[in-house]
């Protein structure tokens, strides 16, 4: 039974990145407008997520960490539902099965909060505590009880930068929320709440970058495209400054990126990259989201149409500057 739980948890919790992703998504769901993420050693030894959201009531906190408490999912493939961004009702239980886990939460109406401590799936304690409204989750020593899995993790640096990129992606699509990322004691990233996309871009990718941006806007029956692209005088962009969202979901798509880079290719010096933040909206029937939710990929029915559209939109915008 324990082994099965651990294997199932391993399917859900791949690496520190997936823990942070699930926990921050929970914080966003809780309507928090301040989310603090702290990691140490790329999240391997320590992850802490604090939010000021709705909180979990004293009565529900124990249930929230039980597997399937919020759904009736039975197989791993069932975990990935078609109309949501991830698996349901599994994150807290899975994470607490493979770490030293601590959940503290308080709702607005309650006098006291509650802390639940779980190690490797075993509840250690559950007690009342003084706490601010909202939720804090601490995950220590991820995979301490699955050495085989632990061995497969990448370096601290590479896990840490995957998490940094994740917080960047989430910040750019949640401009109402203030995000703060602390990595090995150092503040990497803070954004204000209730602000503009350009302010978020400026606080994360730098004010020089954000000043170099030109706005893109296109709308038709089929697709809306809007966002920002670097101008031809900006040479300091790299591919981490290329962010694409489709229907509010961050994606990585080499074909789309290269059709955009192609629009720049004769106009930027060799070896220089454009930066862009594009928000694309399509009829949901035009995309296939029935794929692994952690891979940030989407299949388009008419890829060629979208590539051609982006190429011509951006070519035109770049030429308009001369
Ligand atoms: P799911 O999000 O799919 O329901 P989780 O295991 O991620 O499953 O979370 C279980 C439940 O715990 C959630 O449905 C929610 O009610 C509660 N919860 C988890 N994290 C938070 C949070 N940060 N703020 C408020 N409630 C939370
Ligand atoms: Mg969740």
Based on the fold, state whether residues 135 and 214 are members of the same structural domain: no
Residue 25 belongs to some domain of the structure: yes
Residue 234 belongs to some domain of the structure: yes
Q: Which ligand is nearest to the CA of 136?
A: 1
Distance 29 CA to ligand 2 centre (A): 8
pLDDT of the residue at 299? 78
pLDDT of the residue at 194? 96
314: CB partners within 8 A, 6+ apart: 216, 229, 260, 263, 264, 276
The total number of structural domains that make up the chain: 2
Residue 308 CA to residue 314 CA, distance in Å, equals: 10
Based on the fold, state whether residues 114 and 171 are members of the same structural domain: yes
Based on the fold, state whether residues 98 and 151 are members of the same structural domain: yes
Ligand 1 pocket: which of 13, 64, 114 to mutate (most atoms within 8 A of CB): 64
Domain with 144, as residue range(s), is 2-190
Domain-terminating residue out of 141, 159, 190: 190
The closest alpha carbon to 210, from 191, 239, 174, 237, belongs to 237
φ, ψ for residue 116, nearest 5 deg: -115, 130
Residue 197 belongs to some domain of the structure: no
Domain-terminating residue out of 190, 220, 245: 190
Based on the fold, state whether residues 142 and 39 are members of the same structural domain: yes
The closest alpha carbon to 191, from 172, 163, 213, 214, belongs to 172
pLDDT of the residue at 74? 47
Residue 300 CA to residue 251 CA, distance in Å, equals: 12
Based on the fold, state whether residues 165 and 305 are members of the same structural domain: no
CB 238 within 8 A of CB 286: no
| Chunked mean pLDDT (size 10), the chain, 322 residues | 59 88 96 98 98 97 78 46 51 94 98 97 96 98 93 95 96 97 97 96 96 96 95 93 93 92 93 96 80 66 90 94 58
Based on the fold, state whether residues 152 and 300 are members of the same structural domain: no
Residue 121 CA to residue 145 CA, distance in Å, equals: 10
Q: Which residues' Cβ are closer than 6 Å to ligand 1?
A: 22, 26-27, 30, 51, 53-56, 64, 70, 88-93, 135
């Amino acid at each position: 039974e324990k082994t099965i739980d651990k294997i199932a948890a391993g399917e859900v919790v791949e690496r520190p990145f997936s823990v942070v992703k699930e926990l921050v998504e929970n914080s966003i769901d809780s309507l928090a407008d301040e989310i603090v993420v702290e990691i140490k050693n790329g999240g391997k030894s320590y992850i802490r997520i604090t939010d000021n959201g709705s909180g979990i009531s004293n009565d529900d906190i124990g249930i929230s960490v039980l597997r399937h408490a919020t759904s009736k999912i039975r197989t791993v493939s069932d975990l990935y539902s078609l109309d949501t961004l991830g698996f349901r009702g599994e994150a807290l239980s899975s994470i607490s099965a493979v770490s030293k886990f601590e959940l503290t939460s308080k709702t607005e109406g309650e006098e006291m909060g509650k802390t639940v401590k779980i190690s490797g799936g075993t509840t250690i304690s559950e007690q009342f505590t003084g706490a601010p409204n909202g939720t804090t989750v601490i995950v220590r020593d991820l995979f301490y009880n699955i050495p085989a899995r632990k061995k497969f993790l990448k370096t601290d640096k590479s896990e840490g930068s995957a998490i940094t990129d994740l917080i960047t992606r989430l910040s750019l699509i949640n401009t109402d929320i203030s995000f703060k990322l602390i990595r090995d004691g150092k503040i990497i990233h803070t954004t204000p709440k209730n602000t503009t996309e350009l302010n978020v871009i400026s606080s994360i990718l730098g004010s020089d970058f954000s000043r170099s941006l030109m706005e893109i806007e296109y709308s038709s029956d089929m697709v809306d495209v809007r966002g920002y692209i670097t101008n031809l005088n900006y040479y300091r962009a790299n591919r981490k400054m290329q962010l694409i969202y489709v229907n509010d979901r961050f994606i990585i798509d080499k074909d789309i990126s290269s059709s955009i880079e192609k629009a720049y290719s004769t106009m930027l010096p060799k070896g220089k990259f454009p930066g862009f933040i594009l928000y694309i909206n399509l009829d949901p029937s035009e995309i296939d989201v029935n794929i692994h939710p952690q891979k940030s990929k989407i299949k388009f029915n008419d890829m060629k149409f979208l590539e051609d559209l982006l190429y011509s939109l951006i070519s035109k915008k770049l030429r308009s500057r001369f």
